[in-house]
Structure 1
């Protein structure tokens, strides 16, 4: 009851911001009933279909949803008689999940009100709840535990700052951590943080990062070829993709690009903002400074057109960045020059791009460290260092290509997390389920 009151108070306090974003940007409008009241029996029946019970996978947004296709494929192979349903908390995550799995498997995750999560678990006939990375919702986890539904965390990551914050409220949150039946962590440090927050040490396992397994292996795919064709890329071009950008990073990229293209006319730029509500602003930023913008959403094809140096491609669509990294020779991962904490740098590394990112990669510290320490990526501090990196890659193409090949080899070395995660979950393995129940 206390948590319900706390959530209600927080929603009331935030309501002006929520209403502004609803009307200004169209956010939070969809799935309101599912979020506030949980899944109705009718909608749950559509999701469950002919199955007697389900595995519920929750992924908060686009990045986490992108980890699920391979996992869903393996779970379905292990337990073909069990339904698999996917929830997300954001519009972009929901839309990507629908694109990947179909609307008959996807719903909006309920807010952590006790009535909403209990109704959803009951109507889904959920036999296991799987949380991607960490969505710590006390009512949801308690409700699942109360009906004997194991709750597992996969690809677990927990920053030092977050762990310290959780421990400050240990009396409130430690019981939630203790209810987790299995936690697959990306590294030993993360596993220790989960234990310090209250997870039983016997229930933690270092499974590695699913992002290594999910990273691409080759540019020779239909998806990459179609985008190269659309953009008019030819063998002469050297393409620089700056992806998952936050406010301020597009201006940084444009500034560097305009200086370098004078001495390197072969250089071309692709910008991929992370948030849809910023697409128009970024387009205006490009045009007001004198360049032309080619918006992915508004052009059927650029095929056979000459991609001019003053034309900057803006990817104003969702779920395509993974393939656009494959078009690029040079890659800069956004969210790393401000306070965001970085984004996934393994996708461009898997393609063999010459990868760079900014000083703040707190959300991907382990991955960034492995790439840097192995000589597969470069961290730059500011605009000047970024310009120096891009110029060096253009002046010495063999060295840039070698940086990319090293990145690819590091990714290959760390694959295998899906196998370890499936083994941890024990789906379709009666002995593993018995061990988990005994624990």
Structure 2
């Protein structure tokens, strides 16, 4: 009865949202792809002759990226293990197809009972690992029906999410109890999981996997290739504004114009958070009559000569951060709650963010405690930060070194996560290939 009630609620929500869904599909290209995978659970089947097969679910680009060190560690621990990776967003799906080409990648089924059941029958996972947190009732409840363990890795539960889930505690509590293991990023998140009803015995504080798998080496091949592609000379001061949201690009441009009057060697690399905004940002830059180039138009024979480069590509931000002397991490001047500032910190850039960073509160607190982060509030304070970082080389490098030390000190979450998962995965099941229904 509960299952069909959920189906009814989901269908009602889809019906109410259908005008927006159609509009987004037509204007932004969202929600068009993967209909059979999402609504019918028609995902690729389990490979034959595998000792263990894991279903890894990552919502979007950030979660897709954090899977890399975990997959590598699992392969080292369990030779022969295979993975089916699902994502929710188009950007996440495109990145996963590129980043994990050797593994099976599909869109995740929507939480209708028929689509989730069919996906389980097709994938036949021995365990399902949810990156950060995805509390979909049928996805969690059906794991046991299909003889699969289910766990959360790199678990995080923001204060805002905790308040929201607390309003439906009657539903969330039983779901959390069905999770076989939760690897929480810190004690605060662990406490929130327990408060909502999770079994304390199944929770372990592992730290954040996002600190792992990040190279502090600016001389890595991809970063060096990007420096050349962007025409960045040694004397240039490179400011990268990454993961920017709507409304932030005008602030970046205003600050760049002001700072450029004093710092003639300054270059701006602008990386919008969402691919569907690439053209929107390009149109805005054109309206300002300021020369810029798009990364998608650059080749080995056509390198950038502009002071502003729009990075209109997916999955490259990590390596582009390695080119930056100065960083601004977007989503923090509006109401988004901030984006991940760990990568520019790891490279030793002088990092700035806006005041609204509740999604990464723990990381911000660590960086600020080490005097390794600058908070700006508008174009004026951002300009002052950029000018100071550009002119005072010693100050810039010291802030960057402190940021790098914070990141390196937090690494090791992947190893702790593997240790926490071993009771679920040991000993490896020896299974015969089952024909999908």
Return the structure number with greater relative CO, CA threshold 8 A, min gap 6. Answer: 2
SS in 2 for 1:214: coil
Asked if 1:207 corresponds to 2:203, the answer is no
Tell me which residue corresponds to 2:434. none
The farther-off stretch of 200-209 and 79-88 is: 79-88
Tell me which residue corresponds to 1:277. 276
Q: Deviations over 1:11-57 (max 9, x none)?
A: 011111111111111111111101001135xx214xx2432651100
Tell me which residue corresponds to 1:145. 144
**Contact 2:85–2:103 (8 Å) recurs in 1:** no
Tell me which residue corresponds to 1:189. 188
Aligned equivalents of 2:51, 2:21: Cα separation in 1: 38
SS in 2 for 1:126: coil
Per the TM alignment, residue 411 of structure 1 is displaced from its structure 2 partner at its CA by: 0.6
Structure 1 runs of 4+ with >4 Å offset: 302-305
Aligned equivalents of 1:152, 1:300: Cα separation in 2: 43
SS in 1 for 2:114: helix
Asked if 1:337 corresponds to 2:336, the answer is no
Aligned equivalents of 1:214, 1:57: Cα separation in 2: 17
Tell me which residue corresponds to 2:27. 24
Q: Which residues in structure 2 correspond to 1:24-423 (within 5 Å)? A: 24-39=27-42, 43-45=44-46, 48-51=47-50, 53-102=52-101, 104-301=103-300, 307-308=305-306, 311-423=307-419
Per the TM alignment, residue 153 of structure 1 is displaced from its structure 2 partner at its CA by: 0.5
Q: Where does the alignment leave 5 or more consecutive residues of structure 2 unmatched? A: 430-437
SS in 2 for 1:247: coil
**Contact 1:78–1:427 (8 Å) recurs in 2:** no
Per the TM alignment, residue 82 of structure 1 is displaced from its structure 2 partner at its CA by: 3.2
Aligned equivalents of 1:318, 1:411: Cα separation in 2: 24
Per the TM alignment, residue 338 of structure 1 is displaced from its structure 2 partner at its CA by: 0.3
Q: Deviations over 1:219-242 (max 9, x none)?
A: 011000000000111111001000
Per the TM alignment, residue 104 of structure 1 is displaced from its structure 2 partner at its CA by: 4.9
Tell me which residue corresponds to 1:436. none
* Aligned Cα root-mean-square deviation (Å): 1.7
Seen in structure 2, the aligned counterparts of structure 1 residues 302 and 229 have a Cα distance that, compared at 3 Å, is farther
Aligned equivalents of 2:193, 2:155: Cα separation in 1: 9
Query: TM-score, length-normalised on structure 1?
Result: 0.94
**Contact 1:174–1:197 (8 Å) recurs in 2:** yes
Aligned equivalents of 1:50, 1:87: Cα separation in 2: 21
**Contact 2:151–2:181 (8 Å) recurs in 1:** yes
Q: Deviations over 1:88-134 (max 9, x none)?
A: 01111111111111175111100001111111112211110000000
Q: Point out the structure with the larger helix share.
A: 1
Tell me which residue corresponds to 1:14. 17
SS in 1 for 2:292: strand
Aligned equivalents of 1:278, 1:302: Cα separation in 2: 27
Per the TM alignment, residue 187 of structure 1 is displaced from its structure 2 partner at its CA by: 0.6
Aligned equivalents of 1:176, 1:318: Cα separation in 2: 34
**Contact 1:56–1:86 (8 Å) recurs in 2:** yes
Query: TM-score, length-normalised on structure 2?
Result: 0.94
Per the TM alignment, residue 80 of structure 1 is displaced from its structure 2 partner at its CA by: 2.4
